[in-house]
């Protein structure tokens, strides 16, 4: 028993007399690792999708639709790599799309255009969520950005179709 007590005391003395300088490990990210996470203008410009603009007839109708103009400004910023609006307060993103729908000009109030606004609303909320969460992979964020750009383009296309059908007196069954 005395031998066991002696070994235990020797062990305690050795442990307490050891240097206790703890080396704090600093984890720093290299520029390459930061670039691998950061979404850049080059990433967005490299996306392939059909980007439809508005026809002259469509532009004449939406010129006074302020929420649509605000949306186009934000989409333009997104295309130029500025993610600040879509990564900001989710209430702002949601409110813009709700007001877009409620302030829509009467002649654009069709089921097809309303469906495109709903799709755009869903995609912008998804993008907002992805950009606000740090552990979402860059590829998933880029895919969400592409979905928003496609949804906005499809809204423009549907607005154009509305005026094209009206101009050609095409009736849908």
User: How many other β-carbons are positioned within 10 Å of the β-carbon of residue 82?
Assistant: 14
Compute CA distances 8 → 16, 17, 35, whole Å.
12, 14, 53
For position 8, what pLDDT does the model report? 64
pLDDT exceeds 70 at position 19: no
Q: Exposed/middle/buried for 71, CB within 10 Å: 0-12, 13-18, 19+?
A: buried
- Cα–Cα distance, 112 to 132 (Å, whole number): 31
The DSSP result for 146-171, as a single string, is: HHHHHHHHHHHHHHHHHHHHHHTT--
For position 171, what pLDDT does the model report? 61
Nearest to 162 by CA among 52, 13, 31: 52
* Helix (H) / strand (E) containing 24: none
For position 80, what pLDDT does the model report? 94
User: How many other β-carbons are positioned within 10 Å of the β-carbon of residue 78?
Assistant: 20
81: left (phi over 0), alpha (psi -120 to 50) or beta: left
Band (pLDDT 50/70/90 cuts) for residue 31 is confident
For residue 6, give both structure tokens. Answer: 């002696």
Q: Are 65 and 105 in contact (CB under 8 A)?
A: yes
Taken in order of first residue, the domains within the chain and their CATH numbers are 35-167 (1.20.120)
pLDDT digits (tens, 9 = 90+) for 112-159: 999 999 999 999 999 999 999 989 999 999 999 999 999 999 999 999
């Amino acid at each position: 028993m005395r031998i066991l007590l002696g070994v235990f005391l020797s062990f305690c003395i050795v442990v307490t007399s050891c240097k206790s300088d703890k080396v704090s490990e600093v984890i720093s990210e290299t520029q390459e690792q930061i670039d691998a996470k950061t979404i850049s203008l080059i990433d967005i410009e490299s996306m392939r999708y059909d980007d439809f603009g508005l026809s002259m007839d469509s532009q004449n109708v939406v010129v006074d639709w302020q929420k649509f103009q605000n949306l186009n400004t934000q989409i333009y910023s997104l295309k130029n790599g500025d993610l600040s609006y879509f990564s900001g307060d989710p209430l702002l993103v949601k409110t813009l799309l709700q007001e877009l729908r409620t302030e829509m000009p009467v002649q654009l109030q069709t089921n097809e255009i309303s469906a495109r606004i709903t799709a755009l609303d869903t995609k912008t909320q998804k993008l907002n969520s992805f950009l606000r969460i740090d552990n979402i992979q860059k590829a998933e964020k880029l895919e969400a950005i592409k979905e928003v750009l496609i949804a906005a383009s499809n809204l423009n296309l549907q607005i154009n179709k509305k005026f094209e059908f009206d101009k050609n007196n095409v009736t849908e069954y």
